[in-house]
Amino acid sequence: MDEKRLVDHFALIGVGSTGSIKRDELLPTASTPTGDGSLQFSSRNYDFTPQHQQPIVDLAIIDRTHGEEPPAGYETIWTTPNNFSANLNHSGLRNHEMYLCIRRGRDKPPITDIGVLFEGREKVMENVSIIETTLHGYPANIFSSLFSKERTLITYRRAATMILCNSLAVTDICVIIENKGETPPHSFNKINKNLNRSMLGSDIYLCYKKSVIYPIRMQYRPNILYTFPLTHDNPSCKFPDKTPMFCFPMGAFIERWPSKVTLQSVTPSFSTFLLANTKQYGACISFYELFNAYDRLTLTNNDLINRIDIDNDHLYASTCIVLFSRYPFFDTFRRFLFTIYQLIASSGMITCNHNQLIDHIPLIEQYLKHFFYDVPFPSPAKPRIFVQYEEPLLIVLPEDNGLPQNGASFIDLLKNLGTDNTLTLFLHALLESKLLIHSLRSSVLTGVVEAVNSMLFPFQWQCSYIPLCPLALSDVLSAPIPFIIGIDSRYFDLCEPPADVICVDLDTNIIIGGTDEQKHWSVKMFPEKPFKILKQTLERIECQDLNTYQQNLHEIRTRLKCNRNDFELRIRMVKTERVMETRIREVFLRFMCTCFSGYEQFLRPITRRPNLSSTDASLLFDFDKFLHSRGSSDSRFYSHIVHTQMFARFIEERSFLSSSTLNQTTSILEDHHHNYSLVVFDDCCVRLKQSIEHNKQTPIALLDTHEIEKRFSAEKTTLILPDFIDMSHSGTNGHLDSNNRQNQIISNGNRIHSQEQNNLPNLRVPQEPSAIKHVPNSPMVKRSKLERDKCQKVAREDKMKPTQWAYCLLSNVYSLWFMHLPIMIECYTTPRDILNYAYKILVQMNRQHLTNPDEICFRVIIQLCGLYDYPILAVKTYSFMKKTGVEWNAVTYGAYNKAVYEGTWERRDRWATLRSVFRAKQKQNRPVPQWIRMRTGNTIRYNTKRRHFRRTKLKL
């Protein structure tokens, strides 16, 4: 097994320094208007909206009762989304007919927020303007009453300066009447203040939409400018495909900015993504660099450079740096990438007009080499690694709770959607709907989408799964199959998804869309008792624990600003986050265990010669009895679940050692990891069932958060101090002359010299070993963490009884012998004899009344039966386990079915053939009667015995 590596690749992606720059026609150019004001889009299967709306810069109210008309240049909101009157005093008694007007443009700073003020109850916030009168001086009080002098006014906040470069502003406003069934349109924020404060009339609310305001820009195709480690030095180190597309999901652009806008005023953006085919996580920081190579722009880019004022305008190009890893240490990668970005910014590196790349900046090279080569992956011996860079890094070993690990962030999921929408999303994910999760914050998408995938455990999503989908791959939204996709909300400024897609807006906490059948789905479909516990626990976490977590996190971050090298504070922050994540994940695990407890009783093992249909889910699982056992009140939920692809694949994975989510390059250790997670799920089901049967008042903890806190308190932290950090204080901005560079290499010893000679030794991929060589190191012959804990518990109980302690030791000796059986069997030419001998030992253990500490003895024999093509013995072992009452877990059960199904069985007709041969030999030894032939006319008769003999001879 290869040593785990913290990171796999680093890359710099941008415009490059050679060749002409042309438009990228693969993506819709969403910023360059045509002569008629509409946009030019590449041909796609979507209904692109022709609007590229300008930001709203002015608001006004007109009173139609006084005969006011909309002023010139203003748009009036006359109707609601369902074509009701958008009168702000709709259905009010003796109230004036008032409408809201908006004006778009770029002649003044745009409006960034709007609100509603209840005068006398609230204070006016800073930099907020109030609309107190109409355009002709009449009162702009929306709600007036004879019983109260308090006014209801509309407020807004304007940007401090002109927003020209990728900032959010209000681009649309609408009015909805809630009691008439209207809901906020997609991507609109609802102001939760009813404009009608009386008991009569309609419930009227204002909604607004924010969008990114772009400058004049041109889309280009980015290039990979630098990679580390170098791929040509390491042919086996293949760089991921389609990297630029995921680093710039909405496209890469060259933009024209006014000179007063500087790079320091534009904050770099951090995003994460997942390459599902290679199971690699990406962490990316996107930023801008100055572009002054005007001569490289082609004639088609004239709209970008025409009338450009050198003194007042500048061009800037999108650039990014990215890290790839198989482990989602997103916070660590973000800190390291920002360190590299600061070095790039301070060095003044420009990639668009000359070949000045990272390999010409020695300090950046030193950081990369140290991070790739000298920072180890956390291990049980070194669970915490603290690297003291300019921006300190803390890398903590992931939790070993037996569940699949990914980049999920349950905290972001619950914080953005709340309890109700989280449960609605959970229902649609379980029933395999088309889910489109979107947000303007790219750094949130991957964690939330991964959390949705983790909620489904023990099921695994089987269809399209893209946590951060580039715009170039958005055609997948028209696929006729379920999917879970995350996308930037700016996608909705360009086009609308198909009507059967359920859109989940993380920014506005709104879920809309779906088919007519899905619109009638509700959380009431869930089993009543488990759902009640699920909802109550989530609400308690959201209202209490999450608020406490936010306060503690704010306190820790405040203290870290004073001393950012305090690793104890960083450890405390990671511990607090992991405890909260574990609590939320345990809630969904408890729900799934309650709903599917006892499913293993309906599994059907293969006990006879298999055929092509033996892998059918209907033969591996008794669906009818399972549905009957769940009860009639929950039949609608379970009948939908059992017909999903996830459930069918779950039964196959539970019956065989395989995982559909793993590709062909997955190692055998990863292949069995999911089966061990199913063992944990089964164990949680058993513990939860026992807790219910014993009527325990305190619910049993399926995932122990106290163990996490104890481990963080007991474990030690490994401190790594890089010896090249002093270079940052040399005043050279990372640049060294040849003498200084040589001295730095010598002072570091042979470590850097050996790395330069042999770029990355640990990246060498060994030749694929045979299946037999896999067995000694396979998890099949090792106890899992759950099995080790059970054995230790049994040993502690038996240690107090001398007789039982002797039997316990003897049983463990037998287990050790079986663990070494794979190595022993390789030394013999007749493996079946050794397997039969091992089976006899199992029988002998049973005669001696030895209790097996676990099922590893049976599991090793069954796996070796599959490896050495001996399915008959696997069936005998299964029958023996059933006879002795040993319950097998998901790993042993999968190994058994695999051995029986893939093994070569003896032919069924061998005994019949042998019997025919003996009969033929017996007939042959008898004296043959003479040939009797009688001719009667044209008829020829043969002796009956002779004819019978001939028939027997034909059979031979």
- Domains, the chain, ordered by start: 9-28+216-392 (no CATH), 56-211 (2.100.10.50), 410-550 (3.40.50.11500), 556-602+616-661+668-707 (no CATH), 771-902 (no CATH), 911-955 (no CATH)
What's the whole-number average pLDDT of the chain? 79
Write down the pLDDT at residue 467.
Answer: 95
pLDDT reported for residue 22: 61
Q: Report the amino acid identity of residue 764.
A: R
Q: What is the three-class DSSP state of 167? A: strand
Please check whether residue 492 is in contact with residue 48, taking contact to mean a CB–CB distance below 8 angstroms.
no
Contact 514, 537 (CB under 8 A): no
Q: Where are the beta strands (DSSP E) in 537-587?
A: none
Task: Name, of 142-151, 613-622, 735-744, 946-955, the range with top average pLDDT.
Answer: 613-622
- Is residue 681 a contact partner of residue 457, using CB atoms and an 8 Å limit? yes
Kindly tell me if the per-residue pLDDT of 2 is higher than 90: no
Q: Give the three-state DSSP class for 429.
A: helix
DSSP code of residue 906: P
DSSP letter, residue 524: G
Rounded to whole angstroms, the Cα distance separating 765 from 934 reads 83
As to burial, measured by CB atoms within 10 angstroms (0-12 exposed, 13-18 middle, 19+ buried), residue 703 is buried
Residue 488, pLDDT score: 92
3-state helix/strand/coil string of 471-510: HHHHHHHHCCCCEEEEEEHHHHHCECCCCCCEEEECCCCE
Record the pTM: 0.82
pLDDT tens-digit map of 330-341? 999 999 999 999
Q: How far apart are alpha carbons 946 and 956 in whole angstroms?
A: 16
Which of 386, 379, 437 shows the shortest CA–CA distance to 409? Answer: 437
Q: Where are the beta strands (DSSP E) in 147-279?
A: 152-158, 167-177, 189-190, 204-213, 217-220, 223-228, 252-258, 269-275
Q: Under 8 Å CB-to-CB from 50, ≥6 apart: which residues?
A: 38, 39
Q: What is the pLDDT of residue 430?
A: 96
**pLDDT on residue 776:** 44
Range of weakest confidence among 72-76, 103-107, 567-571, 787-791: 787-791
Q: What percent of the chain has pLDDT over 90?
A: 28
Q: What whole-number distance in Å separates Cα of residue 494 and Cα of residue 521?
A: 29
Q: Are 460 and 678 contacting, i.e. CB atoms less than 8 angstroms apart?
A: no
Of residues 229, 180, 217, 173, the one with CA closest to residue 202: 180
Helix ranges (DSSP H) in 64-187: none
Distance CA 59, CA 832 (A): 86
End-to-end CA distance of the chain: 55
Say whether pLDDT at 51 is over 60: no
DSSP assignments along 921-952, one per residue: HHHHHSPPPPP--EEETTEEE--HHHHHHHHH
- Interval 671-715: pLDDT, tens: 445 567 888 898 889 888 888 877 776 778 888 887 788 788 777
- Is the pLDDT at 322 greater than 90, yes or no? yes
pLDDT, tens digit, for every residue of 419-477?
A: 999 999 999 999 999 999 999 998 999 999 999 999 999 999 999 999 999 998 989 99
Most confident segment among 61-75, 174-188, 324-338: 324-338
Nearest CA to 692 out of 529, 840, 561 is that of 529
Tokens 């796999």, residue located = 8
Torsional sign, CA 806, 807, 809, 810: positive
Residues ≥6 apart with Cβ < 8 Å to 907: none
Distance CA 785, CA 780 (A): 13
The confidence score (pLDDT) of residue 757 equals: 37
Taking residues 847-864, report their average pLDDT. Answer: 81
pLDDT reported for residue 764: 34
Q: Between the CA atoms of 784, 786, 791 and 796, what dihedral angle is there, to the nearest 10 degrees?
A: 140
Q: Is the pLDDT reported for residue 773 higher than 60? A: no
Per-residue model confidence (pLDDT) at position 494: 82
Contact between 429 and 435 under an 8 Å Cβ cutoff? The reply is yes
Q: According to the 3-state scheme, what is the secondary structure of 101-134? A: EEEECCCCCCEEEEEEEEECCECCCCCEEEECEC
Q: What pLDDT sits at residue 564?
A: 80
The confidence score (pLDDT) of residue 807 equals 81
pLDDT of 311 reads 59
Residue 40's pLDDT is 31
* C-alpha to C-alpha distances, 806 to 396, 635, 795, 802, 811, nearest whole angstrom: 40, 51, 10, 6, 9
Task: Please count the residues of the chain.
Answer: 956
Rounded to whole angstroms, the Cα distance separating 272 from 810 reads: 52
- Banded pLDDT at 105 (limits 50, 70, 90): confident
With cut-offs at 50, 70 and 90, classify the pLDDT of residue 302.
Answer: low
pLDDT-derived band at 779 (thresholds 50, 70, 90) equals low
